DNA sequence: AAGCTAGTTGCAATCGAGTCGCATCTAAAC
DNA sequence: GTTTAGATGCGACTCGATTGCAACTAGCTT
């Protein structure tokens, strides 16, 4: 579940404040939507929801804020195997990376945390002497319900 | 290395023929470019190279051929962490999946084959009862040269 | 609390990857 | 050679994302 149960609400705001980044009404609205989202949102959905909190939020501000959060390493950008078009989806970066599985039939997105994934990243860092900043493992296939 | 050393040249063409798919001059040009490419190509690069072999090749034919090859499971679509824009990159699907690492500083793309990756996919199939069709692991960070 | 200024915003124009409708053409089956 | 399902080129179009610019403002300085 993308909902960060273990995280303090408003955390994104304070993380930006800690970095000395200016807070605005529009950013507050966008961050609040990201923090309370129960599923992966694309930029258009994020815009619509943010406008319900602050009607002045513009599309370009959403994109600019997403770019900021990406640069700060606070969110991850996902493709979800492009199951629903070419756009991107966003989610807060939490402590543990997880795998995203997209069902090619019903479109359901499942998340999965694995120690083997952590081990694999360790191997890449060690064997390739590659310092990992972001990693994204997306899998397309058929979920348990659809593969029958 | 994206160059399929262990594969027969012209393999894509015969794989399409085996499936009873019509061969055209334009497709031949596009397939030949894909088969002899020494790095990951995006649609625009593929178009330019294919037009050197057959000047009549059109952009839409490139996209249509890529869609065909994707549907047939003969190529993989990559984002390479969007290091150079929002487009996609393509490579022939070989026997073994590999990880793509993109250096955020020099832009170099490295490929890596790992048994742990295979093990991880096995775990997903078993623990999540998810039948994997495609998987894509992309990592962004700093390569050995750039992380000094 | 008033002023300053670098950073942020809305708006409209724009970019660029990818798609589509349609008339024409052609590979390959007969 | 004839036939026809499938492929192509072309141009228009979609849509996610970006940008230039004038106006605005958060948060410091005094």
**pLDDT given for residue A65 in this prediction:** 98
Query: B43: Cβ under 7 Å from strand C?
Result: yes
Given CB atoms, is A67 within the 8 Å cutoff of chain B? no
Residue A34 has pLDDT above 50, yes or no: yes
Region B93-115: mean pLDDT is 94
**pLDDT given for residue A135 in this prediction:** 96
Confidence of residue A6 (pLDDT cuts 50, 70, 90): low
Q: Which of B141, B143, B144 to mutate to test the interface with A (most CBs of A within 10 A)?
A: B141
CA distance B100 to B114: 11
Residue B8 has pLDDT above 80, yes or no: no
CA distance A111 to A129: 28
From chain B, the residues in CB contact with A128 under 8 A are 101, 110, 112, 143-144
Confidence of residue A85 (pLDDT cuts 50, 70, 90): confident
Asked if A141 lies within 8 A of B128 by C-beta distance, the reply is no
For residue A147, the chain B residue with the least C-alpha distance is B131
* Length of chain A as a residue count: 148
B47-60: pLDDT as tens digits: 999 999 999 999 99
CA distance B83 to B73: 25
- Chain-wide mean pLDDT for chain B? 92
| Percent of the residues in chain A that have a pLDDT greater than 70, as a whole number | 93
Model pTM?
0.90
Asked if B130 lies within 8 A of A143 by C-beta distance, the reply is yes
The DSSP result for A66-127, as a single string, is HHHHHHTT-EEEE-GGGTTSS--EEEE--SS--EEEEETTT--EEEE--HHHHHHHHHHHHH
Axis-axis angle for helices A25-36, A59-71 (nearest 10): 70
């Amino acid at each position: 579940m993308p909902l960060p149960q273990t995280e303090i609400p408003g955390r994104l705001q304070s993380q930006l404040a800690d970095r000395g980044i200016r807070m605005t009404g529009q950013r507050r609205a966008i961050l609040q939507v990201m923090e309370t989202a129960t599923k992966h949102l694309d930029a258009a959905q994020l815009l619509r929801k943010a406008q319900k909190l602050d009607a002045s939020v513009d599309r370009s501000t959403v994109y600019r804020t997403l770019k900021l959060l990406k640069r700060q390493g606070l969110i991850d950008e996902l493709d979800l195997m492009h199951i629903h078009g070419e756009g991107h989806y966003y989610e807060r970066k939490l402590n543990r990376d997880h795998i995203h599985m997209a069902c090619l039939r019903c479109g359901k997105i499942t998340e999965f945390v694995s120690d083997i994934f952590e081990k694999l990243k360790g191997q890449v860092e060690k064997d390739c002497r590659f310092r990992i900043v972001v990693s994204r493992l997306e899998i397309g296939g058929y979920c348990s319900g659809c593969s029958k």
